[in-house]
Structures are given as structure tokens and as C-alpha cells.
Amino acid sequence: MSNRIEKTIELNAPVEKVWRALTDHNEFGEWFRVKLDGPFVPGEVSTGHITYPGYEHLKWEARIRQMEMPRLFSFTWHPYAIDPAVDYSKETPTLVEFRLEPTPKGTRLVLVESGFDALPGNRMPEAMRKNDGGWTEQMKNIQAHVER
Amino acid sequence: MLSVRPQARVANPAPVFAALGDRTRLSLLAKLSDGQTRSIAGLAANTKLTRQAITKHLRVLENAGLVTSARVGRESQFAFRPDPIVEARSYLDGVSAQWDEALSRLRSFVER
């Protein structure tokens, strides 16, 4: 089991168009289903409301990190923050990165969400920093055990 | 927080990932993952770990629900409990499924 999510999709649309769909707050809101209060600005918090039917009571909040046109768009947020009664602000957020790459047919989009271990970098255990391979190996062992 | 499905709601997996993010704790879990219960002395055998260190790490694992303990005579016996790992994976599966749906809406949006 990994503590990150990675997804790659090939889109039949030019990079510029995908970039706009990701970073223009109105376009982003259309497919993501959120009504955003204003444009995305690196370093600033983006706020809004979910427009997905049945979940309009939920707020959207993310801190925009990088907007390196047209290659990288990233923000941090609290994933899956779907219980309005829970204060998610104390939890360490995860990092969401969209990487764009031109292809002959259009755009390769790679999405990575990481940081589910919820540890800030300076509190990351030594073992994980120094021995990522060993950690991955151990996780495989445990996974093999759990899945057998 | 994309296409949110309440039945996919599971507990926050952060404590589980945090508990797993340590080599010593993983080595203790790996030992226990054969399903046998062990005492602190049993876990310390053939390692350089002190009883105190093992106790400390077991406490973290126990708080994350990855290990249970039961008193047998004068000693506590510790056992591996895989449920939190299954739950953490189902949490990630939930987030992952939401991204699948969001990305498919993005595809419709940019390819239309």
C-alpha cells in the first residue's frame, strides 16, 4: 500500500486548453463542481462552495501552491473533508499536483496526491527519509500478509 | 471532496500512516504479521532494541489500532491487527475513486 495516489490520463486536447481548465477558476469549477469565490493565486487560499448535487452545504478551501504555466499546477487541501461537523484545519493537508505534458494527440496529465501520512517534513521519521526503499519493501510485506 | 459518496466515508488514516512510517515499528509489525502473539521479551530477542524502546513503539502501534495486547500471566502478549491497514487502503480507494470521477468530468470538459 502506498500513501500517495497517482493517476495518468491522456487527453485529446491541447495543453493550453487543459491548463485553462485546471487554473481558470470558472472552468475548474465547472468540471470539479465547485463555485469559487475568486481566481487562483499562488500562496493564497481559495474558497468556495461545492456544487455537487446533495453536497452544496460543503465548503471548498485549498491553498494554491504553484502555477507554472503550462506544466505544473498544485495546491494543498484536506482531502475527503466531507463532514461539516469536523474541524479539518488542524490536520496536515495533502498536496495535489497536476503535471501537464504535450503529446502528439494532446496532453498527458499526471495527478499526484501525497502526504497522507500527515507528518510535516521536519517530523518525518528518520527511517522514512533515509530508507524509502526499505519502507516500501516492508509495506509490501505487510500488504502481502493482509491480502493473502 | 469531489463527487462525495457518504458510504465511502471512513476514518482518517493519518495515524495509521504515521505509525507505519518508522523502521523499528515496521520491523515489529513484520514479526507479528505471522499471526503469532509475542511478549516484549520475545520481540526483543535477536535485536539491539531495549524493552523500553519496544514498549514505546508498541504503544504507538496500539494507539493506531495496529496491535492489540492481552495480559497472559505476568506478561503482556501482543498481536498484529490488520484492520487499520485495510481501512487506510479503503480510505485511499475512496479518494482515488473520486479523482477518477473528477478526471473523467475534466476529460468531457476539455474534449467536447
Digit-coded pLDDT (tens) for B14-36: 778 888 878 889 889 888 988 89
Looking at residue A2, what is its pLDDT?
57
How many angstroms away from the CA of A116 is the closest CA of chain B? 6
Interchain proximity B26–A142, CB inside 8 Å: yes
Interchain proximity B4–A117, CB inside 8 Å: no
Neighbouring C-beta atoms of residue A88, cutoff 10 Å: 16
Of residues A14 and A58, more confidently modeled: A14
Taking only the tens place, the pLDDT of each residue in B55-95 is 999 999 999 889 999 998 889 999 998 888 777 777 777 78
Of residues B30, B96, B110, nearest to A21 (C-beta):
B110
Whether the pLDDT of residue B10 is over 80: the answer is: no
Interchain proximity B33–A12, CB inside 8 Å: no
**What is the pTM (predicted TM-score) of this model?**
0.71
How does B21-32 read in b/e, with b if 16+ C-beta sit within 10 Å?
A: bbbbbbbbbebb
pLDDT band at A56 (very low <50, low <70, confident <90, very high): confident
* pLDDT (average), residues A121-146: 37
Residue of chain B with shortest Cα separation from A119: B18
Of residues A136 and A91, more confidently modeled: A91
Whether the pLDDT of residue A120 is over 50: the answer is: no
Asked if the C-beta of A66 comes within 8 angstroms of chain B's C-beta atoms, the answer is no
Taking only the tens place, the pLDDT of each residue in A75-114 is 998 876 666 776 777 667 889 999 999 999 999 999 998 8
Looking at residue B93, what is its pLDDT?
79
Q: Which of A22, A117, A148 to mutate to test the interface with B (most CBs of B within 10 A)?
A: A117
* pLDDT (average), residues A9-17: 92
How far is residue A58's CA from residue B15's CA, in Å, rounded to a whole number? 25
- What is the residue-averaged pLDDT of chain A? 78
A&B contacts, CB < 8 Å: 138
Interchain proximity B24–A127, CB inside 8 Å: yes
Looking at residue B11, what is its pLDDT?
57
* H-helix or E-strand spanning residue B91: helix B83-111
How does B6-17 read in b/e, with b if 16+ C-beta sit within 10 Å?
A: eebebebbbbbb
Taking only the tens place, the pLDDT of each residue in B40-57 is 999 999 999 999 999 999
- Contact list, A21 vs chain B (CB under 8 Å): 106, 109-110
Rounded to 10 degrees, what is the CA torsion of A62, A68, A71, A72?
-30
Looking at residue B9, what is its pLDDT?
39
CA distances, A66 to each of A20, A72, A91, A126 (Å): 14, 7, 21, 28
Looking at residue B5, what is its pLDDT?
42
The CA-based angle A88-A5-A30, given to 5 degrees, is 70
Whether the pLDDT of residue A147 is over 70: the answer is: no
Interchain proximity B92–A5, CB inside 8 Å: yes
